[in-house]
Amino acid sequence: MKDIRLLAGYPFDDSLMDLLNDVAASIPNMEDDALDDLKVLKALFAFNEETKCRNFIKNDVTLVLDAFNEPRKRSNLASLRRAAKRILQELEDFLSNSYLSRIKSNLKDLSGVNNSSGKNEIIGVLMRNLEEMNNIPKDLQNALDKLISDYGYVDMDILGNYSFRTKTITIYFKNIFKHHNYNYKAAVATTLAHEIFHAYHFHLLKLRHLPRYVAVISTKKRDYEILKESLASYFEHHFANKHGAYDIATQIENEWHRYHPYVYPYSGARWIIDKLHFTNVVSASTLKFDLAFDMLKNPYYPD
């Protein structure tokens, strides 16, 4: 990393600072492990591209170990309840059809939901129902798409993120410690691997001159979010298994299968069948994200 910075509140908690300093001392080894593991992508690189991506991480990216902020993705449940009730009222004629009884039941459940875990489960059932059903009236489909887009994402604590504009990886240590207090170092390492993949991937897009790559990276288009996060999550899972963090790898994989990719973009990683498929999708993403998303969902191996 170009620099490692510690961010904590005041007055300082001495025990927390000891943990942070201990983690900071381990970051160079974690970084090298992640970069070495990214050699799984070596087959797709042209001359010198791998060196340029590695040097970018080493010389341009800053790491912030943040022990102050605790960001969380959280739906506004009151707004969600109102939105579900509005669909039930405004599209009552459609929903009176017995064919749509499961969707109507899901909406009724959402109209009374009062906690995040319940919301996550109901949305998951709604997504499975929508996948199994055909010929949903267009007005209803549009209303459900908006409901899922606005409120469907899984509520969760954010463990890390990468800002391509500031070239900064942030690890949210309090959130990590909340969920992994017994193996926080391993959780920092796997989260760092996830964010290093993003930085590496985005720099590769830049090197390959992907058209309008900044707009592609920053868009919230659902398919693109699934593509970006699924590739990073697959690499994080690979990293966790390779370095003995088997409990974290199992948790990652369980969450892929628990939540639909449209509400938990990381879980598109369940579509990746092996390292070759992973490499092919990363390579396709440097040409066109739509092509790469299609390859993610539908593995294709040229003859």
The string of pLDDT tens digits covering residues 203-246 is 999 999 888 888 888 888 889 999 999 999 999 999 999 999 99
Model confidence at 155: pLDDT above 90? no
Which pLDDT score, from 0 to 100, does residue 89 have?
A: 96
- What is the pLDDT at residue 121? 86
Q: Please report the pLDDT score of residue 127 as a whole number.
A: 86
Q: Would you state the structure tokens that stand for residue 54, as one six-digit string? A: 């590695």
Q: Residue 225 has which token pair?
A: 């979010």
Bridge partners of 171, per DSSP, are 65, 160
268 or 155, higher pLDDT: 268
The pLDDT assigned to 303 comes to 38
Report whether pLDDT(152) > 70.
yes
Could you give the count of Cα atoms lying within 13 Å of 118 in the half-sphere of its Cβ?
13
pLDDT at 240: 98
- Prediction pTM value: 0.90
Alpha helices in the chain (DSSP H): 14-37, 49-60, 77-90, 92-95, 101-111, 116-132, 138-151, 173-179, 184-207, 213-218, 222-242, 246-258, 275-285, 289-297
Please tell me the predicted confidence (pLDDT) of residue 9. 79
**pLDDT tens track for 126-146:** 988 988 888 899 999 999 989
Residue 8 phi, psi (nearest 5): -140, 160
